[in-house]
Amino acid sequence: MEFQKELEKRRTFAIISHPDAGKTTLTEKLLLFGGAIQIAGAVKSNKIKKTATSDFMEIEKQRGISVATSVMTFEYSGKKINILDTPGHKDFAEDTYRTLTAVDSVILVIDCVKGVEEQTERLMEVCRMRDTPVIVFINKLDREGQDPFDLLDELEQKLSIRVRPVTWPVNMGSDFKGVYHLLEHQMNFFKVNKTRIEDDVVKLSLDSPELDKSVGAKDAKQLRDDIELINGVYDEFNEENYLKGEVAPVFFGSAVNNFGIKELLDSFCEISPLPISRETNVRRVFPDEKKFSGFVFKIHANIDPRHRDRIAFLRICSGKFERGKFYKHVRSGKDVRFSNPYMFMADSKNVVDEGFPGDVVGLYDTGNFKIGDTLTEGEIMQFTGIPSFSPELFREVINTDPLKTKQLEKGVEQLSEEGVAQLFTMQPGNRKIIGTVGELQFEVIQHRLLNEYGASCRFEGRPFSKACWLTSKDQAKLDEFIRLKGHFIAYDKDKNPVFLAETDWILRMNKENNPDIEFHTTSEFKVAGS
Ligand code: G4P
C-alpha cells in the first residue's frame, strides 16, 4: 500500500548544538550526501553572526533565508529525510524548543574541544522531557580536543543520558588517524577533504596485524585497549533503549572534512524512528491512521513587510494531507483549505499535492493560525506537548505614539502568536509585558512593530527572571495567592495565571510557603511536569 510505504520512508529530525559546534556544517554535509545540494557553502548563510546583534538588515536577511531552510528534505538510502532547522542564535532558543516538538529524533553535535556547553544542556532538557531519541556526533576531531572518555563522562553527567560509542577515534588533532566502527568492525582512515563523499574504509578486525600496519603498533594497541574498556564499561548498543530516549549512540568525526558522517547517516537511517504517535487532549493519534491530522509548530512572517501574510509550518501527524481539501481548524471550528501548500528542498520551495506523516508543509496564513493549532478531518481534538517555556527577560511595552495604539496592540499580539516572544498582561491597566530568552528579540520586535504595523514603542525593564504557571487543586487558595501577590501576577495569552519571580530564591520561598500551589516552568503541565 502506497501510504504505508511513504510513511515508513519518513525520518524527521533536528540537529541541535551550542552555536559554533558545527550544526550548519553537518547539515550541509548531510544534504551533500543526499544530493540535495551540489556545493558546500549553500547552507552557510543561514546564520545570524554573533557580532550582528543590532544589525537589522542581518536580522531581516535571516528571516528571509530561514523560511527557505526551515525544513530541508533529501533522499538517502531509500529514506525521505526531513531536517527541521533550528536557529543557531541563543536568543531564538524558544523557536528551537518548539521545533523540537515537531521532530521524532535529534542529532546532537558536540565540539570535542569545548565539550558540553550551556546551550546544549538546555536543549537536551527539552529532549529529555519528551524522551526524544538522541544520536551524538562529536565533531572537530581534526583539532586537539578533550579525551574521548572524559567527553563521554561529561555527556552522561550533564545531559542525564547514557551513551554508547559506535565509532571510536584513533588520536585527535594533527595526529588524527580516523575512526573505528565498533559494530561494523571497520576502520575509516582520515584525510583532509572538504567535498569528498567516498571514504577510505577498510574492514579490519581488531586483532588483525593489518591494523598495526595501517595505524602503527602504538595506536593499534591504544585502540584495542580503548575498545576493551568500552565493552567493559558501556552496555551493548540496544536499539530499543535508544528509541526510548534512554541511551544515545555516539559517533566521532569532522564535519568540515566530511569525515565520519557517512557512518552517522547510515546508522541514522537504520535506527532512527519512523513518525511517532502523538498525544492529544482526547486520545493518542497514530501516524498510520487513515484520517489526516497535524499541528502548527512555527509561524513565520513573510519577508515582504507590505503584506502581513505569514507562513504556518504544519507537521503532519497522521493520514494523508491533500492540497485543496477542506480540513477543520479545531480552535476556531472553521473549515479551511489550502490551494498552494508547499514543501522545501534545500534552497527551493515547491507546491505539493500531498504530504505524509513526518512531512512538514508550509501553509499561507492571513492571521488565523496560532502556534499549537491543530488541523483534522473533522475530529475535535488538540495536539498537546507544544508548551511555552519560561522566558528569562521581561520588559513592559510603552507606547510612544498614542495615535497608533490599535496598531501596537495588534502588532504585539500577532508577533506573540508567531512565537517571536511571549506576551503577558498585568493589572492594573492591562500592562503588556513581553518575555523573551534573549536581547535580540526585543530589537526584532521593535523593528517589526515599526516596519510592519507602523507602531512605535520603547521597553522598560522589569526585574523578573522567571515565569511560573500556577495551578492548585484548591481554587480558593489559588485565588488568595493571586490576590496577595498581585504585583507579581500576570496572565498569559490564554489567560492562565503566571507568577513572575525576580530571583530563584524568591521563587523557592514562595513554593515553600505555599505548598498547595503548584508552580510550573512550562505552560503545559502534564507533559513537562513542573
Ligand atoms: P554552528 O552552525 O553550530 O554555529 O557551527 P558551524 O557549522 O557554522 O561551524 C562553526 C565553525 O566551526 C566554522 O568555522 C566551521 O567551519 C568550523 N567547523 C565545523 N566543523 C569543523 C571540523 O570538523 N573541524 C574544524 N576544525 N572546524 C570545523 P568558522 O570559522 O566560524 O566559519 P568558516 O569561515 O570556516 O566558514
Residues 6+ apart with CB under 8 A from 70: 84, 85, 298, 300, 313, 344, 360, 362
**Is residue 25 within 6 Å of ligand 1 at its C-beta?**
yes
Query: What is the 22 CA–ligand 1 centroid distance (Å)?
Result: 5
pLDDT of residue 527: 39
pLDDT of residue 502: 95
Going by alpha carbons, the residue nearest to atom 17 of ligand 1 is 22
Q: Indicate the range of 207-211, 335-339, 436-440, 518-522 predicted with least confidence.
A: 436-440
Cell, residue 287: 501516524
pLDDT of residue 196: 54
**Is residue 88 within 6 Å of ligand 1 at its C-beta?**
yes
**Backbone angles phi and psi of 227, in degrees to 5:** -70, -35
Query: What is the 25 CA–ligand 1 centroid distance (Å)?
Result: 6
Closest approach atom of ligand 1 to CA 253: 23
Domain with CATH 3.30.70.3280 in the chain: 393-528
Q: Stretch 55-65: mean pLDDT, rounded?
A: 55
For residue 46, what pLDDT band results from cuts at 50, 70 and 90?
very low
pLDDT of residue 483: 95
**Backbone angles phi and psi of 129, in degrees to 5:** -60, -30
Q: Indicate the range of 92-101, 129-138, 189-198 predicted with least confidence.
A: 189-198
**Backbone angles phi and psi of 526, in degrees to 5:** -65, -40
**pLDDT at residue 47 greater than cutoff 60:** no
Query: What is the 201 CA–ligand 1 centroid distance (Å)?
Result: 25
**Residue where the block lists cell 567493559:** 232
Dist CA 13 CA 71 (whole Å): 10
For residue 60, what pLDDT band results from cuts at 50, 70 and 90?
low
pLDDT of residue 304: 61
Single pTM value for the model: 0.86
pLDDT of residue 104: 97
pLDDT of residue 52: 37
Sign of CA dihedral 223, 224, 229, 230: positive
| Averaged pLDDT of the chain | 87
Residue to mutate (ligand 1; options 30, 45, 90, 256; most atoms within 8 A of CB): 256
**Is residue 511 within 6 Å of ligand 1 at its C-beta?**
no
For the chain, give the percent of residues with pLDDT over 90: 58
Q: Stretch 304-309: mean pLDDT, rounded?
A: 64
Query: What is the 266 CA–ligand 1 centroid distance (Å)?
Result: 23
- Name the CATH topology of 393-528: Alpha-Beta Plaits (3.30.70)
Going by alpha carbons, the residue nearest to atom 11 of ligand 1 is 20
For 223-269, the pLDDT digits (tens) are: 999 999 999 999 999 999 999 999 999 999 999 998 999 889 999 99
Dist CA 148 CA 260 (whole Å): 15
Q: Is the peptide bond before 391 cis (omega within 30 degrees of 0)?
A: no
Domain with CATH 3.40.50.300 in the chain: 9-168+236-271, 278-376
Cell, residue 256: 568540515
For residue 420, what pLDDT band results from cuts at 50, 70 and 90?
confident
- Name the CATH topology of 9-168+236-271: Rossmann fold (3.40.50)
Q: Stretch 279-286: mean pLDDT, rounded?
A: 95
Query: What is the 139 CA–ligand 1 centroid distance (Å)?
Result: 10
pLDDT of residue 299: 86
For 315-369, the pLDDT digits (tens) are: 999 999 999 999 999 999 999 999 989 886 655 678 889 999 999 999 988 888 9
Highest average pLDDT, of 14-18, 42-46, 55-59, comes from 14-18
pLDDT of residue 292: 98
Burial class (CB in 10 A: 0-12, 13-18, 19+), 292: buried
| Strand ranges inside 383-456, DSSP E | 393-399, 422-426, 431-436
**Is residue 255 within 6 Å of ligand 1 at its C-beta?**
yes
Going by alpha carbons, the residue nearest to atom 26 of ligand 1 is 140
For 447-461, the pLDDT digits (tens) are: 889 888 899 999 999
**Is residue 17 within 6 Å of ligand 1 at its C-beta?**
yes
**Is residue 19 within 6 Å of ligand 1 at its C-beta?**
yes
**Is residue 254 within 6 Å of ligand 1 at its C-beta?**
yes
**pLDDT at residue 506 greater than cutoff 80:** yes
Closest approach atom of ligand 1 to CA 141: 23
Architecture of domain 278-376: 3-Layer(aba) Sandwich (3.40)
7: left (phi over 0), alpha (psi -120 to 50) or beta: alpha
pLDDT of residue 447: 86
Q: Indicate the range of 40-44, 290-294, 463-467 predicted with least confidence.
A: 40-44
Going by alpha carbons, the residue nearest to atom 28 of ligand 1 is 256
